[in-house]
Homo-oligomer: A and B are copies of this chain.
Amino acid sequence: MLLPLCTWSEIEQFLGRSRTIVIPIGSNEQHGPIGLLGTDWMCPEIIAHEAQKSADILIAPTFNIGMAQHHLGFPGTITLRPSTFIAAICDWVNSLAAHGFEKILFLNGHGGNVASIEAAFSELYAQASFARRPAGFALKLCNWWDLEGVGELANRQFPKGHGIHATPSEIAVTQWAYPQHIKSAEYSPAIANWGPIREAADFRARHPDGRMGSDPGLATPEKGRELVMLAAQGLVQAVEAFSTEPSPY
């Protein structure tokens, strides 16, 4: 079920059978010469929407702007500061918790979000911890590439040139979902270099076309399809495991 396509009473009914919800979360940021700016929020959205076709799981609207300050040197990137990002995640969680959701899983599509999402979780839990009471909800972060079997598949598909930003795996996923928006461009070297991640001007100086360690030209829609199908399956399993995890209380 896609929450935005439901009525409130359909959600009320869903809460009668499950207290778990999945939030696709990503970023809108440059993805090199051929990657789409929306890649990082589209990937978890694509996977989550696929997953709910075959399982009774609930998918929230997509949290589409993340922590991408280091990409601001490239037009089209939109970022939240970590402090804003944390505040927004707190409001999303507090809204859902008010309705009785007890297990909230963020399916993440952007490595740069991880630290701020985890900081947000701690900010949320801290309210309960200072008050020495249970939080009433459990939070989980899953990167889509960490879902069961997905990393292995990507390694088989792209034994060289996968890299960590504008990777062929994420681009393949968007190629499968948006076949009319497959881009091509000349770039060199074939595999981009690596480096530390700091402010935007530093990033662009190190990575002139935006890639980090990747050869996005290896992506194909078919490889994307394989990744989505496996990840969707992995998400259903992750939701099931999270939903049935026993409480320590």
Which A residues form the contact surface with B (CB < 8 A)? 3-12, 15, 28, 30-38, 41-42, 60-65, 67, 69-70, 72-84, 86-88, 90-92, 94-96, 98-100, 112, 114-120, 122-123, 125-126, 128-135, 138-140, 178, 181, 183, 185, 195-196, 198-202, 205-206, 210, 248-249
Contact = CB atoms under 8 A, between A and B. Distances in A.
A78 B65 contact: no
Contacts of A140: 196
Contacts of A84: 84, 87-88, 90-91
A188 to B, nearest CB: 15
Given A119-B86, A129-B201, A5 B248 contact: no
A140 B114 CA distance: 17
Contact of A132 (B9, B12, B126, B201): B201
B70 A130 contact: no
Nearest to A74: B8
Contacts of A205: 248-249
Contact of A129 (B32, B70, B87, B196): B70
14 contacts: A4-B28, A5-B178, A8-B30, A11-B37, A65-B91, A72-B129, A73-B132, A83-B83, A94-B130, A115-B115, A135-B198, A195-B248, A205-B249, A206-B248
Contact of A95 (B15, B123, B130): B130
Closest 10 CB pairs of A and B: A4-B38, A115-B118, A129-B200, A11-B76, A205-B248, A8-B30, A69-B126, A125-B199, A11-B75, A82-B119
A66 B83 CA distance: 17
A28 to B, nearest CB: 5
A73 B100 CA distance: 11
Nearest to A141: B115
A77 B8 contact: yes
Contacts of A91: 65, 78-81, 84
A167 to B, nearest CB: 15
A108 B128 CA distance: 26
A75 to B, nearest CB: 4
Contacts of A112: 122
Contact of A76 (B8, B88, B130): B8
A61 B41 contact: yes
Contact of A33 (B7, B99, B125): B7
Contacts of A5: 36-38, 178, 181
